[in-house]
Amino acid sequence: MSLSRGLRRGTFWCLLILTLAFLLFPLVWMALGSFKTQVDFMAYPPRWLFRPTLANYEKVLIGGDFLKFTWNSLVIAAGSTAMSLLLGVPAAYGIARYHQTRLGVAMLAARMAPGIAFLIPWFIVFSKLRMVDTYPAVMLTHMVVVLPLVIWVLVGFFEDLPRELEESGLIDGCSVLGVFRRIALPLARPGIVATAILGVNYPVALAATGGIPPYKWGLTEGSVLPTGITLASTGQFSGVPTIVNGEPPAFTVQATDSDSPA
Amino acid sequence: MSSLTSPEVGARVLPARPSASGGIERWVERHLRWILPAPAVIAMALLLVVPLVYTTYLSLHEWYASSVLGPRFIWLDNYAQLFIRDERFGPAFRVTLIFTVGAVALTVTLGLGIAHLLIRNFPGRGLVRTLVLLPMIATPVAMALVWMTMMSPTIGVLNYVLRSVGLAGSAWVSSPRSVIPSLLLVETWMWTPMTALICLAGLATLPSEPFESARVDGASGWQIFWHLTLPFMRSTLVVAALFRTIDALKVFDIVYVMTEGGPGFASETLNLYVFQTSFKYLNLGYASALIVVFFTLILGASMLLIQVRRSPL
């Protein structure tokens, strides 16, 4: 008994360590690389021990607009997530409580549409509204990705809430809206927080890629850069505006990695 | 008095709150099922349906993003060309399909496995859970670049590790034969945390009684997994697979950064092809037709999965 238990515990820890090694190694490698000089970075066999340098960080933090870009990413992520929660929480509750599965599926359709499908129409609309190059425009476009996610995750949470609690609220004379506010919402709070984390992650990720590529850069003059670009120590990002026949200017984003042989 | 009546009657006996807005409140109450989701629906319709309609309209036109020569109506010519004459559409379709099947299978299986590890109680669980989520929080473009340096055939650390245990190094993304598996490796690394998180949430909400009684009755770990966990987790797993399918069909960033569809067209996905058509060749009409077909494909795959979620086992 105790032998088999010890064996199982050993297997468990082995699997856990394997998982962590797989998931964390690239991040560790990136972190190590950020302290390396060009020579150390290009060395083969790869150098595990080297004299660390802070020059890369100096370049990123002092030389460039990195902090401003990070701020942009955060504002857009927070804004689009807040808007999505505001619209998504009541919608998720409605869908869960009244079993509006069709509506849920329709919302999901939004997630399926390739972002590239929206770029041109959006740009035309936003330029008519003089909203190009503003935070709200980018937040709105991100909402298309975040809102369906918020709704779908939260529908699951609301469906799992014990129905009895809400019913007893109704019986005691609470309105449906009151039940939502006083019972369902507080109970679902952990779920909502978890969803918010998921939601924030998406815009940041999108900001990094320039969206499903073109739209982010088309709207923000290449000012939104991801937070995780410490890699800039060995490469660089640049946005080049190209204007074609006076039509909506498109940004071509070039991610060059000066150290790896292309 | 209320102690004498049944609860249902008691609810009706309670006096309505006297207020001027009573009528409005009742109206809201009655139509709540439409009012609650209305803001979200309107927002999505404006942000989504309108652009899609415009894209569909454009797919029936020939237009090279010029303000001098506007869109020219050409009936279904774009679609005819796409299905009959286009030599890049078919391969891109196949690459997308293979990538998607691989990505969904790998991320969902591994995600469920990792969630199983993380649901247990062990010292440092909170820290491990946070660490596991890190790849998801890291930004895809940056991480794709990191993987590029790791996968470098000459100076990459992956080949170094392979060689030091006596295996031959791989060409990774520089060979048409290994490019898709390499991209799948990166995709799996990047998105397994998300499926693990979804599965973890699913596992956390499982009712404990059936599992306890199964254990009391002497069921083995595998029996519990097959006959209890999997059926209970079906809905969660389908949702995870659904999200992954949609995202994998639309894969763009890692492919664009790591291979740009190459070598040759060996890793060109549909999304990449659409992107090139619209922003490299500025063939907006044809790109719109591609987008319509692409979108239909994603819609079809998703509907299929939703059916799986609904239908009984």
What is the per-residue pLDDT across B280-298, written as a single tens digit (0 to 9) for each? 888 888 888 998 999 889 8
- Tokens describing residue A237: 């990002």
**CA torsion angle A117 A122 A125 A129 (round to 10):** 180
- Closest by Cβ to B117, choosing from A16, A109, A246: A16
CA B249 from centroid of its chain's CA atoms: 8
Interface test with B, best of A120, A204, A206 (most B CBs within 10 A): A120
CA distances from B272 to A95, A115, A147, B18, B293 (A): 35, 12, 25, 61, 14
Mean pLDDT of B271-279: 86
User: B223 falls in which pLDDT band (50, 70, 90)?
Assistant: confident
Chain B residue with CA closest to A260: the answer is B149
Q: Which of residues 156-215 of A touch B (CB under 8 A)?
A: 156, 160, 170-173, 175-177, 180, 194, 198, 201, 204-205, 207-210, 212-214
d(CA A228, CA A66): 10
H/E stretch holding A237: strand A235-242
Domain ranges of chain B: 48-85, 99-285
User: B110 falls in which pLDDT band (50, 70, 90)?
Assistant: very high
Chain B nearest-CA distance from A190, in A, is 11
The answer to whether residue B54 neighbours chain A at the CB level (below 8 Å) is: yes
Residue corresponding to tokens 């991040």: A27
Q: Which of A218, A205, A229, A228 is nearest to A253 (CA)?
A: A218
Q: Supply angle C-alpha B110, B252, B260, rounded to 5.
A: 115
CATH number for the domain formed by residue range(s) B99-285: 1.10.3720.10
Mean pLDDT of B121-131: 86
pLDDT < 70: residue spans in chain A: 1-2, 63-64, 111, 120, 190-191, 194-262
CB-count exposure of residue A124 (10 Å: 0-12, 13-18, 19+): middle
Q: Which residues of chain B make contact with A244, given a CB cutoff of 8 A?
A: 65-66, 282
Q: What is the pLDDT of residue A38?
A: 82
Task: Using DSSP, state whether B1 is helix, strand or coil.
Answer: coil
Least confident range from A164-178, B98-112, B168-182, B258-272: namely A164-178
d(CA A111, CA A146): 8
CB-count exposure of residue B202 (10 Å: 0-12, 13-18, 19+): buried
Q: Which of B28, B168, B187, B171 is nearest to B106 (CA)?
A: B187
Handedness of CA B51, B54, B60, B61 (dihedral sign): negative
Q: What is the pLDDT of residue B109?
A: 94
Asked if B40 lies within 8 A of A109 by C-beta distance, the reply is no
CA distances from A100 to A155, A156, A178, B243 (A): 10, 13, 20, 20
Mean pLDDT of B57-76: 82
The answer to whether residue B132 neighbours chain A at the CB level (below 8 Å) is: yes
Q: Which of residues 141-180 of B touch A (CB under 8 A)?
A: 141-143, 145-150, 152, 154-155, 157, 160
Asked if B120 lies within 8 A of A231 by C-beta distance, the reply is no
Asked if A111 lies within 8 A of B11 by C-beta distance, the reply is no
Q: How many interface pairs between A and B have CB atoms less than 8 angstroms apart? A: 256
Least confident range from A221-225, B4-8, B260-264: namely A221-225
Least confident range from A96-100, B6-10, B96-100, B102-106: namely B6-10
H/E stretch holding A152: helix A135-160
The answer to whether residue B256 neighbours chain A at the CB level (below 8 Å) is: yes
Q: Which amino acid is at A153?
A: V
Q: Contact A247/B67 with Cβ under 8 angstroms?
A: yes
The answer to whether residue B63 neighbours chain A at the CB level (below 8 Å) is: no
* Ramachandran angles phi, psi of A250, nearest 5°: -110, 150
Q: What is the pLDDT of residue B312?
A: 60
Q: Is the ipTM of this complex over 0.85?
A: no
Q: What is the pLDDT of residue A207?
A: 37
Chain A residue with CA closest to B245: the answer is A112
